[in-house]
Every structure is written in C-alpha cells, then in structure tokens.
Chains A and B, each alone.
Chain A
Amino acid sequence: MNENTSGKKILSLALLIVGAVLLIAALWMDFSKTYLVVNMGSAKIALRGLFLVLGALLCLAGLYYIPTVMHHRAIINFIFLFPLLFTFAVTVIIPMFVGIFYSFTDWNGVSYTKMVGFENYGAMFKDPAFIWSLLLTVLFVIVNMILVNLVAFLLALLCTTKLKGVGFFRAAYFLPNLIGGIVLGYIWQFVFSNVLTAITHSPHSWLASTNTAFMAIIIVYVWQYAGYIMLIYINGLATVPKDVLEAAQIDGADAMKTLFQIKIPMIAATFTICTFLTLTSAFKQFDVNLALTNGVGTVRGFMGQRLSNGTQMIALNIYNTAFARDQFGYAQAKAILFFIILACVSLIQVRISNKREVEM
C-alpha cells in the first residue's frame, strides 16, 4: 500500500513537471517566434500546438494521480468540469465580453485605433438600411410565429386522426427540417425563379420584387419549420387523457367544442414551447435569407433614401456589415443590440406565457 502511494507520488510529480515544461516551451516558442514543424507524410504539424495540448493533458493526468483520499473527489470534479467549461469560456463567455468592448471601438477585424464611445450605437439609428432590417425582422418574426404555429397545429390535428398511413405523412411533413437552410434556399431559389415562372407563364420571378421576395422567404421558412413544430404539437396532443375526451363525447361535445374547450387549454404548455422556439429561431434566421435572396431588393424612399437591401434580415445585415463593408466595430455594436432585443423578447414571452398558464 505504501509503495503504491509513493509510486503514485512520483508518477504524479513527473507528469505535472513534464506537462508544465511542455506548456512553458510552447509559450516560449510563441514569444521567441520559433516555428518547429514536423513533417508527417503530407500533413505538417506545428510542434508548438502539440506541446500546448500535450502539456495541458499531462498536467491534468498529473492532477489525477495525486495520492490523496480526501481531495480526490474535488480533483475529479475539477477534471470533469474543465473540458466543457474551458471550451465554453473560450468560445462563448470571453468572446462576448471582448465583443462588448470592441463595440465601443473602431475595430476593423484586426486592430483598433481608438475608443469611439457610443458612436457605433448612435450611428445604427441614423442608418436607414439597418432600421429597415430591424423592422423587417420584427415583421418576419410576427408573421412567422402566427403562420408556423397555425400550420403546424393544423398538421398535428390532421396527423392525430385515424388516417391510414399517418406515419408516412408525419415523416413527409418533417422531412424539410432535416436539410440545412443553405441547400433549401438554393432549391427554392430554383423553384421561384424557374419552376413557378414556367407554370404560371409569367416572366417575373417572385424573387425579383421586394414584397414578393419577402413572402417567398416566409413561405420557405414555414415550409421548413412547420413539420418540426407539428411533431411537438402531436406530442402535446397525445398527453390529453383519453377518458377526458370520452367524457366530453358522452356529454355531447362536438369536434369543434372538444378542440377549443378541452384540447387547446390542456396543451397550453406546448403552445409556450412552440411560440418560444419559433420566436427565437425566426429572429436568428440567416441561412435561408442568404441563399434565397441574399438580402437583395429595392425599396424606394424609406427614411428619404433608396435602399438596395429590401429583404435583408438583421442577422444577414450584421454579417454583411462586417464582411462586405469591413466595419467590424459597427457590426459588433449591431450584434450586441440584437442580443439585447432577443433577450428582452424571450424573457417577456416566457413571463407572459407563465402567467397565462397559471391562470388557466
């Protein structure tokens, strides 16, 4: 037993020391700009990165072998939490705070020269193109929330009847949700600009004018998303107890009455989930917008200006501000505003729904 402990001690110490040396070596190589590269067949592996990762792993292993009974649980807790918390901090938390800082500077993606205070935030509200995107997004969210939920609920009612082949229909309605927005966007671009014009013998594609292009985005989005929301409604409807429905039938309630006075109130929680899902996902809509219209569309006379981004939703607006116009600081400020709006809307929505559910 004693020998085992001392062996563990040596192992643990050795691992910790080697790990630390590797970490320090990696850091030193970064500061001194030493690039050691090993050729492995066709792939080149930079030793620095390898040192860094290996060093971190060895340090963790060293921690694991520390011979203690009392603190072993605490060490395990640390090792278990570390990977996820580390990646989470590096990819979400730190960038968010860095981003808040950058939104107050004239950052161009690589460096910034000065702090500009609230200039970026002020500029947003004088920018007709951005205001247009914001209003368009709000309109899109409202229309979608209503349409997706309505269509999905009707589909769910259809799929909970005693229809033959219900399984097939469920799968078919859900199918569009499997495919990514980029691919779907291009498929529908083809449908609108080639197929629909061929069927209606009209030379004008829906995507050519701003209003119809916006409707096109809504159609595609409802088409893609309704199947998913439908599944959640089906699940909700299945939780309505059979005996309640039977009791209603015996009491002489017709189908409509059962629907409005029993089924809908009983699945209020499902409605909350579905409005929340459609709300947040419609706000963040990017892929279909990019692939279907790329935000193009003329608007004559909005806030005294002629706009060319008639179908550009806010997520795409942020993207283009950064990558097409290289105004990273400004784009970051827009993103922060987007986050604030999204957070407020989600909180309000959850609060309202909770209140309503309690009342019911």
Chain B
Amino acid sequence: MKMKTSRMVTLMIIAILLAAYILFPFALVVLNSFKTQSAIVSNPISFAGASFKQFISNASSVINNKNFVFWHAFGSSTLVTVISLVLLAVFGGMAAWVICRNKTRWSTVIYMVFISSMIIPFQVVMLPLIATFREVGKFVGLGMNGTLPGYCGFGGAMTVFILTGFIKGIPYELEEAAAIDGCSPEGTFFRIIFPLLKPTIVTVTILNGMWIWNDYLLPSILLGQNNPNKTLPVAVQAFVGSFVKSWDMILTAALLAMIPMIVIFLIAQKHIMDGMVQGAIK
C-alpha cells in the first residue's frame, strides 16, 4: 500500500518537534552543568564557556558539598529502595497468597481494607506518622527511621491488589498436587507459587521502584532535613536551599540525581514501560 509520503513527512516533523520540546529541559541541564555561574546567567542557551573541565569542577563541588554528599545520598536511596522492594515483593506475595487461597470472611475483610486504603492520601497520615515514628525510631533505633515500614505499608495495598489478581489465575490443582506429594504449605508457596509470580513481581517492583526512588515527602518527613542518611530527592531539596540561584551547582546536582534513573531506563526500557502500563490497567 502506498502511504501518502507528504503526510508521513508532516507527522515525522511534528514528532521530532515534540521530542525536541520534551527533551529540551534535559539538554539545558546537561549544557549548563558544563558552565560557570556567570556564563549561565549571561546566556543559558549558548555553548560559550562550556568546558569539560568546568563540569568536573562543578561535579566535584556538588559531590563534596556537605548538604548534598552525593555518594551518601545515592547509597541511602539505593538501600531504601532495594530493601523496600524486596520486602514488598516477599511480604506482598505471602499476604496475597494467603488472602487469595483462604476464602474466609477475614481474608475478604483484609482484602477490602487494602483496596479501599489505596485512596488515602499520604497527607492524612503524615503528621501522626512523624509523631509516632519519632518515638518508635528512638525506641527501635533501626530501620532508617521508619522509611522501610512506611513504604511497606503504603506500597502494600497496590502490591497485594496486583498479585492477588495474578494468583487467582494459577490453577489450585498445582497446590493440591504438591500437598499430596508431601509438600508443606510454606514449601508450596516458596517452591511453586513464588517462582510462578516472577513476571508479576517484576511489574510490581517497577511500579513501586519508580515511586520509592523519586518520592520526596515520605523520606523528608520521616528522615528529617538534618538526617545524615538523606535520600536523593531530599538531598537535592536541602542542597538547593543552601545555594539560592547558584544555577551551576543546582543544575549539576539535578544532572547527578537524574543519571541513575536514566541509566536504568536505558538498560531496561521495555520492561519499565510495560510494567508501568500493566500496573495501571490492572
């Protein structure tokens, strides 16, 4: 079939212009983190004054800044995200399995509570949470001041919701066969159900991961602005507060904060885009 070439060319031009518009701010960040503050202020869209040496100097002053401490923040973010994701996957899978395979009144109640809790905005619980976790944090002295239970609690509802939908589709005969062969219930879950859940776990992990990595409010409130273990978004906020309008520093910090996510996106682009869609339409 002969496609109208002129129409295709117009569409192509529109697509390119849109992409240019959408990527423009990112390009500006990259360009200007290679310049000094005075060069940025005099002309933010010219290449004048951009040099690799300047980028190294910007980056090193950002990385070593005591309000930002890039590697520390990066480490905190990674630790919080990875541990929360593992806990959510394991605990969520366990809970979803029990809810799904025990048709009692209790499991229905628990499931309904989980589902209806999804519309609770964080603002409603944020103030009591600080009050509680200040005490609990002092009491326990572990667990990043409650960020991990916080994410388990808040991500749990959606995780259970998506996983239950999937477990329903696994034939129950599989578990009966395992039981007849002498497999304990916990063995059935970890040896048979959990491996089958893998594709759904990937979806859940991507959805939760995007949210947890970029989340600002929960860690800023539970960790506090002066906590040495800030996550990246909190560190960026604290850093910008200390450098009002020093765009060379701010943009370099923004670039450094964006890089990990973009690298992961380039590696697992298809998985991330699929996961975001699958999670939404469930």
Q: Does A143 touch B at the CB level, under 8 Å?
A: no
> Looking at chain A, what size class is its interface with the partner chain?
35 or more
Interface mask (B88-108 → A, CB under 8 Å = 1, otherwise 0) = 000110110111001000000
Task: List the one stretch of B24-32, B50-58, B62-70 in contact with chain A.
Answer: B24-32
Are the C-beta atoms of B280 and A273 separated by less than 8 Å?
yes
Are the C-beta atoms of A175 and B127 separated by less than 8 Å?
no
Are the C-beta atoms of B281 and A81 separated by less than 8 Å?
no
Are the C-beta atoms of B141 and A88 separated by less than 8 Å?
no
A88 to chain B, nearest CB (A): 5
Q: Does A232 touch B at the CB level, under 8 Å?
A: yes
Given A84-B94, A87-B153, A175-B26: A96 touches B124 (CB 8 Å cut-off): yes
Q: Which chain B residues lie closer than 8 Å to A315 at the CB level?
A: 121, 123
Q: Which chain A residues lie closer than 8 Å to B122 at the CB level?
A: 284
Are the C-beta atoms of A88 and B152 separated by less than 8 Å?
yes
Q: Give the docked Cα–Cα distance between A228 and B215 (Å).
A: 17
Q: List 14 A-B contacts (CB under 8 A).
A: A84-B160, A85-B95, A95-B129, A96-B125, A163-B11, A169-B15, A171-B273, A178-B272, A179-B261, A182-B237, A186-B240, A187-B251, A235-B281, A335-B124
Are the C-beta atoms of B28 and A183 separated by less than 8 Å?
no
Sorted nearest first, the 8 A-B pairs with minimum C-beta distance are: A91-B153, A180-B214, A49-B140, A46-B141, A95-B125, A95-B128, A80-B94, A49-B141
Q: Does A342 touch B at the CB level, under 8 Å?
A: yes
Are the C-beta atoms of B217 and A287 separated by less than 8 Å?
yes
Given A182-B236, A191-B25: A87 touches B149 (CB 8 Å cut-off): yes
Q: Which chain A residues lie closer than 8 Å to B102 at the CB level?
A: 77
Q: Does B43 touch A at the CB level, under 8 Å?
A: yes
Q: Does B142 touch A at the CB level, under 8 Å?
A: yes
Q: Which chain B residues lie closer than 8 Å to A11 at the CB level?
A: none
Are the C-beta atoms of B237 and A291 separated by less than 8 Å?
yes
Q: Which chain B residues lie closer than 8 Å to A161 at the CB level?
A: 8, 11
Q: Give the docked Cα–Cα distance between A43 and B127 (Å).
A: 29
Within 8 A of A (CB), among B6-37: 8, 11-12, 14-15, 18-19, 22-26, 28-29, 32
Task: List the one stretch of B164-172, B183-191, B196-204 in contact with chain A.
Answer: B183-191
Selected contact of B130 from candidates A49, A93, A109, A273, CB within 8 Å: A109
Are the C-beta atoms of A48 and B25 separated by less than 8 Å?
no
Given A96-B120, A173-B19, A287-B216: A72 touches B185 (CB 8 Å cut-off): yes
Q: Which chain A residues lie closer than 8 Å to B136 at the CB level?
A: 90
Interface mask (A336-355 → B, CB under 8 Å = 1, otherwise 0) = 10110011001000000000
Interface mask (A250-271 → B, CB under 8 Å = 1, otherwise 0) = 0000000000000000000010
Selected contact of A88 from candidates B131, B156, B189, CB within 8 Å: B156
Are the C-beta atoms of A53 and B123 separated by less than 8 Å?
no
Q: Which chain A residues lie closer than 8 Å to B140 at the CB level?
A: 46, 48-49, 52-53
Interface of B is mostly: helix
Q: Give the docked Cα–Cα distance between A109 and B140 (Å).
A: 20
Are the C-beta atoms of B44 and A194 separated by less than 8 Å?
yes
Are the C-beta atoms of A338 and B153 separated by less than 8 Å?
no
Q: Does B178 touch A at the CB level, under 8 Å?
A: no
Q: Give the docked Cα–Cα distance between A176 and B142 (Å).
A: 34
Q: Does A298 touch B at the CB level, under 8 Å?
A: no
Q: Which residue of A lies closest to B215 (CB)?
A: A180
Q: Which residue of B lies closest to A48 (CB)?
A: B139
How many chain B residues have a CB neighbour from A under 8 Å? Answer: 93
Which of B41, B139, B184 has the most chain A CB within a 10 Å cutoff? B139
B213 to chain A, nearest CB (A): 7
Q: Which chain A residues lie closer than 8 Å to B45 at the CB level?
A: 195, 198-199
Q: Does A67 touch B at the CB level, under 8 Å?
A: no
Q: Does A76 touch B at the CB level, under 8 Å?
A: yes
| Chain B positions near chain A (C-beta within 8 angstroms) | 3, 8, 11-12, 14-15, 18-19, 22-26, 28-29, 32, 40-41, 43-45, 87, 91-92, 94-95, 97-99, 102, 110, 113-114, 117, 119-132, 136, 139-142, 146, 149-150, 152-154, 156-157, 160, 184-186, 189, 210, 213-217, 232-233, 236-237, 240, 247, 250-251, 254, 257-258, 261-262, 265, 269, 272-273, 276-277, 280-281
Q: Which chain A residues lie closer than 8 Å to B184 at the CB level?
A: 72, 76
Are the C-beta atoms of B127 and A169 separated by less than 8 Å?
no
Are the C-beta atoms of A336 and B23 separated by less than 8 Å?
no
A46 to chain B, nearest CB (A): 4
Q: Give the docked Cα–Cα distance between A240 and B119 (Å).
A: 30
Selected contact of A286 from candidates B117, B213, B217, B269, CB within 8 Å: B217
Given A187-B254, A343-B119: A175 touches B23 (CB 8 Å cut-off): yes
Are the C-beta atoms of A194 and B236 separated by less than 8 Å?
no
Are the C-beta atoms of B141 and A48 separated by less than 8 Å?
yes
Q: Give the docked Cα–Cα distance between A74 and B184 (Å).
A: 12
Q: Give the docked Cα–Cα distance between A234 and B125 (Å).
A: 35
Q: Give the docked Cα–Cα distance between A98 and B135 (Å).
A: 15
Selected contact of B254 from candidates A90, A175, A183, CB within 8 Å: A183
A117 to chain B, nearest CB (A): 19
A245 to chain B, nearest CB (A): 13
Q: Does A19 touch B at the CB level, under 8 Å?
A: no
Q: Does A148 touch B at the CB level, under 8 Å?
A: no
Given A92-B117, A194-B41: A84 touches B156 (CB 8 Å cut-off): yes
* 7 more A-B residue pairs beyond the given contacts A76-B186, A89-B153, A98-B128, with a C-beta to C-beta distance below 8 A: A81-B95, A81-B98, A84-B91, A102-B127, A110-B131, A287-B217, A290-B237
Selected contact of A99 from candidates B124, B139, B152, CB within 8 Å: B124
Q: Give the docked Cα–Cα distance between A169 and B254 (Å).
A: 23
Within 8 A of B (CB), among A274-333: 277, 280, 283-284, 286-287, 290-291, 315, 318-319, 322, 328, 331-332
Are the C-beta atoms of B142 and A91 separated by less than 8 Å?
no
A7 to chain B, nearest CB (A): 17
B87 to chain A, nearest CB (A): 8
Are the C-beta atoms of B236 and A186 separated by less than 8 Å?
yes
